[in-house]
Copies of this chain bind each other. A is one copy, B any other.
Amino acid sequence: MLTDRQLMILQVIIDDFIESAKPVGSRALSKKDTLPYSAATIRNEMADLEELGFLEKTHTSSGRVPSEKGYRYYVDHLIGPEIYQHGLGIIERLTNNGIYEFEQIVQTAAEALSKLTNYTSIILGPEMFETTVKQIQVLALSDQSAVAILVTNTGHVEHRSFTLPKGVSSSDLEKLVNILNNRLQGIPLYRIPEVIQNEVASLMMKYMNGVDSSLNWIRTLFTQEQAVKLYFGGKANILMQPEFNDVDRIRSFYSLMEREDEIVNLLKNSNQGIKVSIGHENEVEEIKDLSLITASYHIGGGQMGTIALIGPTRMEYKKVLSLMESISKEMTGAMGKWYSDKS
């Protein structure tokens, strides 16, 4: 195992590199008064640490740089529990006037996170699987057009405008809304198409005329692409990092950011709690030289979303980890409040 001195040196090297982004040399280290050893001694220890795989050199005579293994060790063992104080209460400030807007909370959180860290943050909206229908309303806008509104038990509002098929009267519309509410209230969103097919269809046949043509549009109406929404913060922040001094690097990063489905996958399969993926621990090619930190937040009732932060492997893990922890807690807190019982 590592000696105490090696641990100490490793820690100092990583801290230094995280701050400066420049390979750290033995001489410079011994000059700082953090380490009471001569350059030569430090050199020896460095050589050992390199042999063990915690450090690397960029070329034969350069200073040392932490390896991914080094960062991993640092994250797992060398970070004390440090509480990051700033930036707490952002979400509280937003909600204490009584207005909760999901989108707004999430967007604010994403922006705060990126602003406080100078990295890029991504927040994944919650899975809606367990969300159920609270109420459905259809409102005619004109003779030919109407808007359908669906409210879920979590207070989400989905809506869609559409043109009315010919021959649908306003009383038909009323009947339809009744049937829909009758059959769909309390039903989870993902079951909507099925229930429409099996139950609503026959009822419509019974009470309304000229249904055959309309049935189809009702189905499409409520079959929303169940896309999970992504919220970004500080997409441009990453450009400030010296490791993004290369145009191709930037290109590949931004092209990934546009492939939202891939990002969703990337963030989704993170378990509970906070997870750190360093460099090649990431599956996606474009971020094999970056670190990704994910944390989950919850809306009552088990649904959850993910908060993520992307930055160079040379990331301020100490700060970031405690910050992520507190923000995910805050979000869980804020969200829980407005979640209603499944009814």
* A284 located at the interface, meaning its Cβ lies under 8 Å from any Cβ of chain B in the complex: no
Instruction: Determine how close the nearest CB of chain B comes to the CB of A209; give it in whole angstroms.
Output: 19
**Complex: A162 Cα to B299 Cα, angstroms:** 15
With A151-B147, A236-B258, A258-B235 known to touch, is A159 a contact of B157 (CB < 8 Å)? yes
- Known contacts A244-B247, A254-B236; decide if A102 and B161 are in contact (CB<8 Å): yes
A137 on the interface (CB 8 Å rule)? yes
Closest to A163 in B: B98
Residues of chain A in range 144-160 having any CB-CB distance to chain B below 8 Å: 144-145, 147, 149, 151, 153-155, 157, 159-160
Is A64 among interface residues, defined by CB-CB distance under 8 A? Answer: no
- Which of B101, B142, B339 sits near A340, CB closer than 8 Å? B142
Contact of A163 with B100 in the complex, beta carbons under 8 Å: yes
Give which listed residue, B144, B236, B340, contacts A255 with CB less than 8 A. Answer: B236
A151 & B163 in contact (Cβ 8 Å cutoff)? no
Contact assessment for B161 and A155 in the assembled complex, using a CB-CB cutoff below 8 Å: yes
| A59 interface hit (Cβ, 8 Å) | no
A98 touches B149 (CB 8 A): no
Q: Is the CB of B147 within 8 A of A149?
A: no
User: Which residues from chain B contact A250 at a C-beta distance below 8 Å?
Assistant: 239, 247, 250
Identify which of B98, B155, B240 contacts A165 (C-beta below 8 A). B98
A–B Cβ pairs within 8 angstroms, 17 of them: A97-B217, A98-B163, A101-B160, A134-B139, A142-B338, A144-B337, A145-B338, A147-B157, A149-B151, A155-B161, A163-B338, A234-B258, A235-B258, A239-B247, A239-B250, A240-B251, A250-B250
6 other contacts beyond A99-B221, A100-B160, A245-B247, with CB at 8 A cut-off? A99-B160, A141-B154, A163-B337, A235-B254, A236-B255, A239-B247
